[in-house]
Structure 1
Amino acid sequence: MPSPTSGIPDPKADLDWSGFKGPIHEIFAGNARRYPEQPCVVETATSKISERRFTYKQIFEATSVLSHHLVQNGIQRGEVVMIFAHRGVDLVVAIMAVLAAGATFSVLDPLYPPDRQCIYLEVSQPRALVVIDRATREAGPLSDQVRDYVEEHLQLRTEIPALELKDDGTLVGGVKEGRDVLEEQQKLRTELPGVLVGPDSTPTLSFTSGSEGKPKGVKGRHFSLTHYFPWMAATFGLSENDKFTMLSGIAHDPIQRDIFTPLFLGAQLLVPSKEDIQHEKLAEWMRKYGATVTHLTPAMGQILVGGASAIFPNLHHSFFVGDLLIKRDCRRLQNLAPNVRIVNMYGTTETQRAVSYYELPSCTEAPDFLDSIGEVVPAGRGMNNVQLLVVDREDRNKICQPGQSGEIYVRAGGLAEEYLGLPDLTATKFVDNWFVDQQMWVEGDKKKVESQGAAEPWRDFYRGPRDRLYRSGDLGHYGPDGNVHCTGRVDSQVKIRGFRIELGEIDSHLSAHPLVRENVTLLKRDAYEEPTLVSYIVPEMKRWYDWLEERGAKDSDSVDDTSMVTLLKRFKYLRDDVREHLKKKLPAYAVPSIIVPLIRFPLNPNGKIDRPALPFPEPAHLVAAGARRPSQLGAALTPTEKTMAGIWAELLGDRGVSADSISGTDSFFDLGGHSIIAQRLLFKIRQEWKDIDVPMTTIFQYPTLRAFSANIDQAMDPIGLRLDTAEAIEDDPEDEAYSADARDLAVKLTEFKTREPLKPGEEVHTFLTGATGFLGAYILRDILSRPGKVTVLVRAQDIDAALGRVRQTCSAYGIWEEGWESRLEPLVGDLEKENFGLEPNTWNKLADSVDVVIHNGALVHWVLPYSRLRGPNVVSTMTALSMCAVGKPKKFGLVSSTSVLDTDFFVKLSEKSLAEGGTGVPEADDLEGARKGLGTGYGQSKWAAEYITRQAGKRGLSGCVIRPGYVLGDPESGTTNTDDFLVRILKGCIQLKSRPDITNTINMVPVTHVARVVVASSFNPPVSPLAVAQITSHPRITVNEFLGSLENFGYNVPLVPYSEWKQNMETYVSDRSGTKEENALLPLYHFVTGDLPADTKAPELDDRNAAGALKKDQAWTGQDWSAGGAVTEDTVGVYISYLIELGFMPKPEKQGVKALVMSKLTDAMREGMKLVGGRRGV
C-alpha cells in the first residue's frame, strides 16, 4: 500500500473492504466455549469490597440472559439501548448483551449533568434502558429531570432497573411487580439469541462534541469492532495470557477497545476501583495486579505516573490515543515501566478505532531512543488496511510529499457509518475516495463471492465495498520514513491584537520547564470580553521543594488548601519563573497574561483534560493572591505614583491588580498590561491630568510605576519646582541613542565583495526574511515569477510549520500557487538570534549559494521604544549583512520605511525642493536631518538599519535600501491588510459616523507595486554599488479624498472639523457599556487623538532611483512599471468591497454615487485572514 520509494500511501490501493472478521459477541462466545474457566473480568479489591473474579463462562451466561430479555421484549436490530453505566463487570455484560441482541449500545455516564444526559437521550431515542445497580448506589438514581424526560419523550420497550452480576455469576435485573425482571430468561443462559448481524449493522452510538454545545451521535459499524485485532495480536504480541486494564472513560468510545480487545483474544480484563485511579495509587495498582497491556489517553497517563514511585515491570505495551503524546510523558512512564513499549495511535470517534501506530521501544531495549525523536511523538502510519492520507489543502487531488503540510484524511474500510440525523455534516466529513472509481471494488467483490460459490449470511447486512475517507480537521505531514506527524488543528491558531499565535508553540515551551509536569494554554475572555492568553500548569512536586530550598524560600503552610487564591500565592515564585522562561522563548505578545497553577487537571469522563472546566481566576482571587503587606512595597509612593497605581488597578483589576498591591518597581506589562490596555491608560491619564501630553511610547520605554510616574511629574513640572515628585528622569535617552548605536554597530562591518550585475533570465537564489507578512507574501510572489529558488526564514516550531505559515499567509491573500513548493525552501529561524538561529552548516551553505538577500522581516510596532525593536529590526540587519559578507558576493535589499523621514526637517526640505521646481526629498539624502528627533521607536530602528546598510555600501556592498510609505492592498483582488492604519481609519470613521477634515496628501501605494520595486531594486540596484529607492504615489490623493470615498460609495460619514471628530473618538472609547463594537482605531488611539493633521503631514519624495530600477527590471519581467503606482478612489472602492466581503466592514447604508463591485473570497482566504496579520513577518 505505501509507495515503494517514499513510504507515502497509495490512495488507490485495495484495503480489503469485505474482510469482515465476524461480530465481536460471536467471537467472545467462541472463546467462552474454548476457555470456560479462564478469568475474564477481575474487579480488583477496594478498601470496602473484596476482589471479584468472573470466568468467561459466567460472563457469557450473563450476557445470554440479558440479550434474550431484550429480544423477547421486542428490541429490533439497530435500535438503541442506553446503559446508565458504572465501570465494572456489569458494564461488560450489558454491552455484550446489547450486541448479541443485534441492537446498538450507548452509554450514559452518571457524572454528566442532567442537561447533557437528556441531550444524549434526545439524540439517541433509545428503545430500552439498562440501569446498572452500582451506578445508582454510587452516583444516585437518574435525576428527576432525566426520569421525566424518559417518561414523557421516550417510548421504551423495556427497562432493566438494577442490573447486577452477583459474586456467584448470577445476573439479576431488579425487581418489578414482585419478581426479578430477568427471571424468565435464566433458563436461556447457555445460548445467545442468534440474531444475525453484518459488517454494516450498527453496534455502537458514541458521542463527540458538536457545535452550539450539542453533542453529535456517531453510528459505528460491526466491521470495525474486530477487523484490526488479528493484526494487532501479531504485530504487538498480544495473546490470551495478557492482562488488560479498563481505564478509559465509560461513555467514551475508547472503552470499547478496553473491553473488546481482551474478549477477542480470550485474555483478562482488570477493573480498578475509583479510589485506585489517582496519582501515586494507580501505579501501585498496576504493579500489584501485574497488568501487561493498557490503553491510555495522555491525560490518564499523567495520572498513572504523577507522583508515583512504584515500578511495574510486567507492563509490555501501553497504547495511547486521544491527544498529542509528549516525549516527556513517555520518559516518565518508561522510568516506572522499564519493559513497556509505548505505541502512539491516532484515531477519532468517527474512525471508530485508533487506526495508526508509532511504536517506541522499551528503555530496556533502547535506552536512548527517546533522545532521537522530537518532543511530540509521531502519529505513525496506518494499521493493516488503513491509510493516513495527508492531502494538499489547496488541491485535494494531490497527496503531500514528505515535509509538506496538509490535512489528514483517514482511509479505511472500518470508518463509522454517519452522524445520526446530520446528513449534511456526514457528507462533509465522510467523503468518497475521489482518487479511484468505486465501481472497481464492487466488481471485485462480486467476483470474490462468485468464486466462493455462496455468499456469507452476513452479506444481508452489508452495503458492499465503500471506499471512503474521513476528513479529520487535523494538520500534519509525512516524515522521510512515511510516518505522519500531527502539527495541530486546522483551527488551532489564534489571533490576538493583530498577532498570530500558535497555542501549541506556547505549550511546547511550557513543557520544557523542569518544574512543569502538565500544561495547557487557552484563549479566554476577560471581564471586558477581550481575548486573554491563560496557561494552566501542574507543578512537578518532586522537584518543587528542592527548587524552593535552592532559592532560600519555604513552601506555604497551607499545602492541603487547593483553593485558587492559595495556589496562586503558593506558586507565585514558580509563576514568575515560568513567565521569565517563556519571555526567553516567545515574542512578548505570545507570553500568557495569566499563569494558573493547579494540583491536577480536571478530566472529563472520557479521560481527557476538561478544558471548559479549567477555571479563569476571578479578579478577587488574583487580587488576594497578589496582596502584599505595606512593608513589602518598599519606599512610600509619591502622590503621582499613588494616583497612577489606582489607574493601573482600574485597568488591570481583572488580572488581580489592586492599588495597594503595586510597588514602585512593578512593570505595567508584567502585571498583565498590553498595547490595547495601554491605549486606555493614555485616555485615563488625559482625563486625570488635562494639561499634559505623554507620548504612548513612554509606557513601553518606562514600564515600571516609578519610572512612568516620574514622566508624568516631569510633564507637569518641567523645570522641577515641585518637591513631592519622584526622582527626576533624564532627557529622553533614546532621542539620539539610536543614531549613536547605529554608528557603533557600523564600525563592526567588514569589507564586502561587490556583486556583478545579475543577468536577466538567470536562475537566482534569493534569501528572504519576513515572507509571512503582508508585503512579504507579495515580495515572495514577485520573486517566484522569475527563474530560481527562494529560501525563506520563518519563526515556527519546525520546517513543516514554517512552510505551513508561508502557505497559509499566501493562501489567505489569494496568491498561493501550487508550483511554488518545489522552488521554496523554508528554514526555521529567529531574527534576533545569532545567525538567525541557523545551524553553522546551514548558514555556510546559504553563504555559498545565495545570490540576493532581501531583508524584509521586521517588528512593526508604532509604540514600542527603540530598545525593544533593536533586536528584530537593527541587529537582524547586521546579521543579514554578515551573510552578504561571507561566501559568494551578493546583492542586498533592505526594506525600510518613510518613517525615517518623520521630522520637521524633511517636511521643510520637501517644501523647499518643490518651491525650487524639484520633486521632494532626494533619494541621495544622508538622513542626518533625522539623526535625532524621530518620535517612534520603529522609525528610529529603521533609521539605524538604513545607516548601517549605507555604510556597508561604502565598503563595497551592492544593493539598495527601499523606502515605502503606506502599503495598501492588491488593486485587482482588493486583498488588504486589516491591521494597517489607513484601513482601520476607514472602519473607524464608519463607527464614529464622521470623518475628520484633513487636507494632507497620503503617500500610499498598492502592495503589488511596492513588492515589484523591492525585487527590482534588489536584483538591479539603480546606482552602484548601493542606493536608496523611495516609493511614492503617482499621484497622491488627500486624506479628505481618501476618506471621502466612503461617502461616494454610500456610507454616512459627514466631514467634520478634526477637533469634533477627535471628541467623537474620545466619547466612543470612554463608553465601556459593552454595547458598542471596539473601535478599529483603539490600537492607535494615542496617534489619532494627538494632532492628526500635523502628524500626517509628510514630505514629497523624489523617486528617480525607483523608476530607474523598474526600467532595468523590464528586461526580467517584460513589463514597464516605471511610471509608478497609485491608490485612486476606484482602488479604494475595490478595497472596501473586499473588506465588506471579509466581514471587517459593514455594507453601506445607501446606494452611493459610485457602485461597489463585490469581491469573491474563497473559503481558504476567509479562514486564513482570521489568523494572518501584521505588515511584516517576523
Structure 2
Amino acid sequence: MALSADDVRPDPTSDLHWSDYKGAIYEIFAKNAQAHPDRTCIVETASSTSKERVFSYQVINEASNILAHHLVSHGVQRGEVVMVYAHRGVDLVVAVMGVLKAGATFSVIDPAYPADRQIIYLDVAKPRALVVIEKATKEAGPLAGSVRDYIKTELQIRTEVPALKLEDDGTVHGGSMSGVDVLTSSEGHKADLPGVQVGPDSTPTLSFTSGSEGRPKGVKGRHFSLAYYFPWMAQRFNLSEMDRFSMLSGIAHDPIQRDIFTPLFLGASLIVPPAEDITFDRLAKWASDNRITVTHLTPAMGQILLGSQEPKVTSLQSAFFVGDVLLKRDCRRLQQLAPNVRIKNMYGTTETQRAVSYYEIPSLNEDPGYLDKMGDVIPAGTGMVNVQLLVVDREKKERQCEIGEIGEIYVRAGGLAEHYLGDEDKSKQKFVMNWFVDPQKWVDEDKARAEAASQPEPWREFYFGPRDRMYRSGDLGRYMPDGNVECVGRADDQVKIRGFRIELGEIDTHLSQHPLIRENVTLVKRDQNEEQILVSYYVPEMQRWREWYADHEERLSQKAPQTNGTNGTLGVPTGFRRRVSAKEEMGVEQRMRIFELLTIDVRDRLKKKLPVYAVPTLFIPMLRLPLTPNGKVDRRALPFPGAAELLGAMPKAEDVESRTETEKELANIWAQHLPTTADAVSRDTSFYDMGGNSIMSVQIVPKINKRWQGVNVPMSIMAAGQPTLKSVGRYIDRSLDPVGLRLDVQAGEDEEQQAELYSNDLPKQIEKLPTSIPALSSEYPQIKTGMSILLTGATGFLGAYILHDALMRSPPIHVYAHVRASSPSQGLDRLRTTCTAYGIWQDWWVTEGVLEVVLGDLEKQKLGMSDSDYQKVADNADLIIHNGARVHWLMPYENLKAANVQSTVECIQLAATKKPKRLAFISSTSALDTDYYLQQSEYGNKVLEFDNLEGARQGLGTGYGQSKWVSEKLIGEAAKRGLSAVIIRSGYVLGDPKTGVSNTDDFLIRMLKGCVQIGTRPDVENTINMVPVTRVARLTNAMAFHGNKGSVAHVEGHPRLTFNEFLGALEAYGYSTPVEPYSEWKQKVVQYVEDTRSDKEELALLGLYHMVTGDLPEATKAVNLDDRNARKALEADQKACGTDETPAGVTTEAVGAYLAFLVARGFMAVPEENKLPNIELSREQTAALNKVGGRGGSS
C-alpha cells in the first residue's frame, strides 16, 4: 500500500526506474576521451624517488584499448574474471578500463595480503586471465611461489600480462613473453574499442567482502550501477570536469571503483599520491599542495588525513565518507583542516555497489554551528536518486517501521549487485524481492517501453528485466522525523558475556566521546582461562594527552605511586617528561604503563555511562590502529597481550608491604581469577576495577570460606559495592576475632562509627514529604473515559502485565508508561518489544492513542521526567501505579535508596502536584523477612494486612527488603497527611499459566533449571507463596481502583505448593532429578561452580549462589499472610469489569506450562522423557524474547 503524501518515509511501492540504463562506464569514458583527448586524466605526483607523471584522456583510452584487444584476442569471454595483481597508480586505471572494454570482469589481488589469502581470492574468483602490474612486482615482490603453483595447477588461465606498465610517453607495455612484448600485436587497435556488447546485468566487477570461517564472499557487480548515479551526483553535489579527485582508497576495496569511475565519467582529473605521502604527518600537505577538491575516504583513512592539522586544505570542497561509522568528532576536525569542505556520509555496502544513501554536512564557512546540533554519530541519511533505505520491522517484515522505531535496514534500488558468486543460499537470504508491491507491474511497464522505443537497444540482450530487489543489510536503524535514517548498530553486534547482552557499538560510542581519545574499537577476546572478556583498544590524542599530563602533574606525584589501575599496570612515574612519538615502536607492556592514568580516567568515565558488566576488562593503548589494505580497522591484527606481557606490565603494588596476613592470602586467591598477579593487587583498589566480575566473585567466595573455616563470607561482601583487599580482609578478621584480640588486625577508619540502620534513614526521608496533601474528591478514583494512569516499571515482567490489564479494561484508560530510554521512540520500541516477548502486545494501544511513553529515570528528581512531561502528567493523571524498582538481592540499602526510596518520595510529591492523585505502590513480602514475623507464622498466626511493620524495623537482611520497608512507611506517613494510597505486597511472581510465559531471571525458575543442571533436587518442605503474574497484575489494578484509602493487600497464593511439590514437577514432566538431602545437594552446587571448564554451561543459580548454598531451608521460610483486603478488592473489580479468570495460585499443571515455555524459549533442555504440554512460540515472539531480560541465556 502506498504511503500518504505527508509521510516522510520512502514509499516501497514507487517506481525506481529499473530500465533507465546510462550505458557502460567505459563507453562514457571513451566518449570523453574522444571529445577532450588532451585533457588531463591522471596525475601521479612526485615522490622522493620519482618525478611527477601526467597522462591525458587520449593516452589512458588508447592504452586500455590495447589491453582490451589483447584479452579478447586470447580468448577471454564476456563475464570471465581477469585478476589484477595491483598497485595504486595509473597502471591500475589502465588495467581496470582494459578489462571492462573486453567485456570481462575485473577483480584485484592486493600484494599486501598474505599468500594464503591471495589463494582464497583466486579460488573464489576462478579467473581466466591475469594482469600483473610491474610496479606491484617491484615494490611488493612477485606473486609468492605457492600462489604461482596454485595458478598453474588449479586454474585454467587463457593469458597473462606479466608486467603492465604505462611509460612516460604514453606507450603501454605488457611484459615480455618469448622475447616479444605481449601487447605488441594489439597496438594497431589502440583507437578502437573491441566492440564487445554488454548490458545492465553484465558483470564488470568481482569484489570481496568478509565471509564465515574466514573465507571471503565474492560479490558480482552489475554494469547498471557503475554509471547510473553520476549524473545525479554531479548536479546534487556540484561535481564537474574541473574537479581534482584523490585516489586514496584501498586497491582491493570496492571504494577504489568510486575513486576511478567518478572522475572518468565527469571528464575530471584523478590525482594519485605516492605511498610515502599517505601518512599521518604528510597526507594533509599532499592534498593541499595538489589542490584536491574531492576525496573518497573511509573514516580510518580520514584519521590519516587528520594526522596533521597543517596546512589547511582550503581547496577541498567535497569529502565522501564510506565504509564505516562516521563520528561528529572526526567531522569537526576535518572542518578545522578544510573549512570549505562539505562532508557527505555515504551509507552502502559492497552488495549495494554504488546504490547508497547520503547525509550532507555544510562546510564550516557556510554554517559554523551545524555540527553542534548533531548527535555523536552522523546519520546514514536518505537514498540517492532511485535508492531507498527502508527500515523494516524485524519480526513483521511486511511492516515498515514508524518514525523512531528501530528495525533492520533494507536497501531498495535498481543498482544492487547481482549476487554472491557460488553461494546461492546466502544470495537468497540477502538479496530479496520487494514484498510491498507486485513485481509484475514493473515487468509489464518495461515491456511496453521497449516496444515503444524509437531506436534499437542492443543492451537488452544482457538485461534480465526489471527486478524490484532489496538488500538486507543486517544493520539496525530508525527513521528520524525528517525522513533521514539513523544507524544504531548491527543486528549481530550484540554479544553476550556472562549472560548479559552487551552492545559493542554503545561502548565504542562512549569511548569516542572521551576528549583524549582519537580512535577506538572494542572486541571480545578470550583470556588465558578461556573466559570471554571485553577489550578496548584506543589511540590517544597525543598533544592533548601531553597537556592533560602537565595539568595533572601534582595529582600524579601524589596519587600515581599508590595507583594500580584497570590493567594492574604501573602508574606514570612522577618525573615522566618524555614526548611519546607516534613513530616509536613500543610494546604492549610499555604502552600500558605509560598510559595507565589515562586508562584509569577512561574506565572511570565508562563506569558512569555503562552498567558494570559492560565496562571492558582490559584497555590497551595503541599508537595507531592497524588498517587492512581496504582502509578499515584490521581487528585481527590488534594485539592481545599474553600472560607474560600482562604480568610484565604489573609491578608490585606500592602498599604490598603493609598488608595483613589475611590480605596476603586473599590476594593469592584473587590473583587466580584476575588478569593480574598477587603482588600487583593494591589494598584499596576495587576488585572490579582490576577486571573482576560477578562470576569471578561467585567462584572466589567458596575458596575464601574453604580457606577460613567458619567465616562463611556472604556473597554480598564480594558482589555489592567496591570490595577491596582491605574491606574483605577486615570482614574475615572480624569474623575470626570478634572481640579484637589479634594484634595484626588493623582497625578500620569507620569501625567506631556504627553503620546507619535503614530505619534510621526513615525520618530523613519523611522530611522530604509534602506537609499536607490535597484529598481526592471521592474515596476511589473514578473509572471513566479519559482517565489517565502513570505506570512506572512498565518494561518489567510484572509491569508489562499491569499495563496489559489496565489497557484492556472498559471504558478505555490512558496510560503514561514511564520508561528509561534515550528518546520517546526508543522507549516505545522497548515497551513494544517487552510486551511482544510476553505475547500481550496490541498495536491498537498506539494507533488509538491510549498508550503514551514518558521518558524518565527512577533515581532522579521528578522521576527523571522533562519539565513538560512532568507538568503533563501532573495535570492529567488520576492515578500513579508505582511498580518500578531496582531489584537486587545483594546490594545494600544505600545502593538501592535512590531508585527504590527516593522514587517513592517523588511519586508522593507528584501525587500532591496539581490535581490530587491516588498512589498504588507495589511492595514486597521481603519487607516482612524478620524473625518476628516468622515466629508469628510458626505460632499459627497470619500477618494482618493492617500490621504497622514495626516488627521489621530491625532485622531485615536484604537492602531490597529494607528499601521496601522504608517506602511503605513513607506512604503510611503521607496517608496521614491526606494522600489516597494503597499498597500491594507481593511474594514470588511467576509466569502466565495459560501461555507458560515466564521471567527467566526469577529465582524459582532458575531453581528449576539449576536442579536439572545439577541432576538432583533438594529436600525442602517449606511452602512457597507464589502467584501467577496475571493474578498479581489484576489485583494491582483492583486495589488501585477499589482498595480503601491507606489499605494494604497481601498477594497470597491459593493453594501454596511446597518446594518439594514445585521442584517435583520436574520428574512429573520427564526430567531425571531425584530428591536428596539439602546438604548433599548443596555440595554438588559448590562442586559445579568450582568446575570452571570452558565447555560447561554456567549454573543458572550462580547469581543466587549465596542463597542456595547458605541455608536454603531457612532462607525460604515464608510468613503466612492474611489477604482479606485483596479478596475484597478483587470482588469489587469483578463486579465492575466482569469475570476474573486469573488463577489464584501456582499448580503443578502451571509448572508444566512454565517448563514447556522454557524449553521452547531455549532456556532449558528437553526432558529425557518428554511429558510437557505443547507450547509454540512465533518467530516474532522469539526474537523479542532474545532482546528482553538480563541473565537469560540458552541451554
Q: Paired residue for 1:768, among 791, 816, 829? A: 791
Q: Paired residue for 1:844, among 859, 871, 888? A: 871
Q: Paired residue for 2:1070, among 1041, 1050, 1055? A: 1050
> Cα deviation per residue 1:182-228 (whole Å; 9 max; x = unaligned)?
22212221112111101111111122222333222221111111111
Aligned partners of 2:403 and 2:825 also within 8 Å = no
Give, in whole Å, the separation in 2 of the partners of 1:494 and 1:799. Answer: 25
Q: Does 1:648 align with 2:670?
A: yes
Q: Does 1:799 align with 2:824?
A: yes
Q: Paired residue for 2:740, among 700, 713, 720? A: 720
Q: 1:702 to 1:903 in 2, by over 3 A?
A: farther
Q: 1:119 to 1:1137 in 2, by over 3 A?
A: farther
Q: Paired residue for 2:1060, among 1040, 1044, 1069? A: 1040
Q: 1:104 to 1:258 in 2, by over 3 A?
A: same
Give, in whole Å, the separation in 1 of the partners of 2:749 and 2:796. Answer: 37
Q: How does 1:425-464 map to 2 (within 5 A)?
A: 425-464=426-465
Q: After the TM superposition, which of the residue ranges 770-779 and 455-464 deviates more from structure 2?
A: 770-779
Aligned partners of 1:406 and 1:477 also within 8 Å = yes
Show the counterpart of 2:174: 173
Shift of residue 252, structure 1, vs aligned partner:
1.5
Show the counterpart of 1:972: 994
1:444 alignment partner AA: E
Give, in whole Å, the separation in 1 of the partners of 2:1136 and 2:135. Answer: 80
Q: Paired residue for 1:603, among 627, 637, 640? A: 627
Show the counterpart of 2:1097: 1077
Q: Does 1:815 align with 2:840?
A: yes
Q: 1:812 to 1:954 in 2, by over 3 A?
A: same
Q: Paired residue for 1:566, among 557, 567, 590? A: 590
2:1038 alignment partner AA: A
Give, in whole Å, the separation in 1 of the partners of 2:42 and 2:1072. Answer: 74
Q: 1:300 to 1:418 in 2, by over 3 A?
A: same
Shift of residue 97, structure 1, vs aligned partner:
1.3
Q: Does 1:1023 align with 2:1044?
A: yes
Q: Paired residue for 2:929, among 875, 878, 902? A: 902
Q: Does 1:1129 align with 2:1145?
A: no
Q: After the TM superposition, which of the residue ranges 689-698 and 895-904 deviates more from structure 2?
A: 895-904
Q: After the TM superposition, which of the residue ranges 986-995 and 831-840 deviates more from structure 2?
A: 831-840
Show the counterpart of 1:381: 382
Show the counterpart of 2:156: 155
Aligned partners of 1:958 and 1:1021 also within 8 Å = no
Q: After the TM superposition, which of the residue ranges 501-510 and 1054-1063 deviates more from structure 2?
A: 501-510
SS at the partner of 2:70? helix
Show the counterpart of 1:688: 707
> Cα deviation per residue 1:691-712 (whole Å; 9 max; x = unaligned)?
2111111232561211210100
> Cα deviation per residue 1:862-888 (whole Å; 9 max; x = unaligned)?
212222222222222223333223122
Q: Does 1:1106 align with 2:1143?
A: no
Aligned partners of 2:293 and 2:315 also within 8 Å = yes
Shift of residue 671, structure 1, vs aligned partner:
1.2
Show the counterpart of 2:103: 102
Q: Paired residue for 2:609, among 573, 585, 594? A: 585
Give, in whole Å, the separation in 2 of the partners of 1:1087 and 1:489. Answer: 38
Q: 1:730 to 1:693 in 2, by over 3 A?
A: farther
Give, in whole Å, the separation in 2 of the partners of 1:445 and 1:802. Answer: 44
Give, in whole Å, the separation in 1 of the partners of 2:819 and 2:379. Answer: 22
Show the counterpart of 2:985: 963
Q: Does 1:890 align with 2:913?
A: no
Aligned partners of 1:977 and 1:1175 also within 8 Å = no
Give, in whole Å, the separation in 1 of the partners of 2:1108 and 2:751. Answer: 25
Show the counterpart of 2:424: 423
> Cα deviation per residue 1:737-781 (whole Å; 9 max; x = unaligned)?
222223311221003333443333523333233233322332332
Q: How does 1:1080-1095 map to 2 (within 5 A)?
A: 1080-1095=1100-1115
Show the counterpart of 1:679: 698
Q: For the aligned residues, what is the CA RMSD?
A: 2.3
Show the counterpart of 1:790: 815
Aligned partners of 1:44 and 1:272 also within 8 Å = yes
Show the counterpart of 1:1145: 1164
Give, in whole Å, the separation in 2 of the partners of 1:612 and 1:768. Answer: 47
1:1083 alignment partner AA: G
SS at the partner of 1:345? strand
Q: How does 1:842-921 map to 2 (within 5 A)?
A: 842-912=869-939, 915=940, 920-921=942-943
Give, in whole Å, the separation in 1 of the partners of 2:906 and 2:464. Answer: 64
Show the counterpart of 1:615: 639
Q: Paired residue for 1:994, among 1013, 1016, 1022? A: 1016
Show the counterpart of 1:223: 224
Aligned partners of 1:834 and 1:879 also within 8 Å = yes
Give, in whole Å, the separation in 1 of the partners of 2:395 and 2:1091. Answer: 44
Shift of residue 1077, structure 1, vs aligned partner:
2.1
Q: Does 1:926 align with 2:948?
A: yes
Q: How does 1:137-216 map to 2 (within 5 A)?
A: 137-216=138-217
Q: 1:808 to 1:496 in 2, by over 3 A?
A: farther
1:674 alignment partner AA: N
Q: 1:1017 to 1:456 in 2, by over 3 A?
A: same
Give, in whole Å, the separation in 1 of the partners of 2:503 and 2:679. Answer: 35
Show the counterpart of 2:546: 545
Q: 1:336 to 1:708 in 2, by over 3 A?
A: same
Give, in whole Å, the separation in 1 of the partners of 2:259 and 2:863. Answer: 49
SS at the partner of 1:651? coil
Shift of residue 2, structure 1, vs aligned partner:
8.2
Aligned partners of 2:816 and 2:852 also within 8 Å = yes
Q: Paired residue for 2:857, among 816, 830, 846? A: 830
Q: 1:658 to 1:436 in 2, by over 3 A?
A: same
Q: 1:1037 to 1:729 in 2, by over 3 A?
A: farther
Aligned partners of 2:918 and 2:981 also within 8 Å = yes
Q: Which runs of 5+ in 2 are unaligned?
A: 557-574
1:1168 alignment partner AA: A
Give, in whole Å, the separation in 2 of the partners of 1:488 and 1:784. Answer: 32
Show the counterpart of 2:22: 21
> Cα deviation per residue 1:808-830 (whole Å; 9 max; x = unaligned)?
33333333332233344334433
Q: TM-score, normalised by structure 1?
A: 0.95
SS at the partner of 1:961? strand
Aligned partners of 1:279 and 1:308 also within 8 Å = no
2:930 alignment partner AA: T
SS at the partner of 2:20? coil
Q: How does 1:301-312 map to 2 (within 5 A)?
A: 301-312=302-313
1:625 alignment partner AA: A
Give, in whole Å, the separation in 1 of the partners of 2:1035 and 2:527. Answer: 44
Q: How does 1:224-373 map to 2 (within 5 A)?
A: 224-373=225-374
Q: 1:952 to 1:248 in 2, by over 3 A?
A: farther
Aligned partners of 1:706 and 1:726 also within 8 Å = no
Give, in whole Å, the separation in 1 of the partners of 2:1108 and 2:708. Answer: 19
Give, in whole Å, the separation in 2 of the partners of 1:939 and 1:819. Answer: 38
Q: 1:880 to 1:602 in 2, by over 3 A?
A: farther
Show the counterpart of 2:571: none
Q: After the TM superposition, which of the residue ranges 902-911 and 108-117 deviates more from structure 2?
A: 108-117
Give, in whole Å, the separation in 2 of the partners of 1:56 and 1:442. Answer: 39
1:836 alignment partner AA: L
Q: Which runs of 5+ in 1 are unaligned?
A: none
Q: After the TM superposition, which of the residue ranges 130-139 and 1045-1054 deviates more from structure 2?
A: 130-139
SS at the partner of 2:476? strand
> Cα deviation per residue 1:597-632 (whole Å; 9 max; x = unaligned)?
21222222222222333333334433333324x6x2
> Cα deviation per residue 1:87-124 (whole Å; 9 max; x = unaligned)?
22222111111111111112222222333322222222
Aligned partners of 1:499 and 1:1172 also within 8 Å = no
Give, in whole Å, the separation in 2 of the partners of 1:455 and 1:813. Answer: 60
Show the counterpart of 2:973: 951
Shift of residue 730, structure 1, vs aligned partner:
6.2
Q: How does 1:67-82 map to 2 (within 5 A)?
A: 67-82=68-83
1:840 alignment partner AA: D
Show the counterpart of 1:1159: 1175
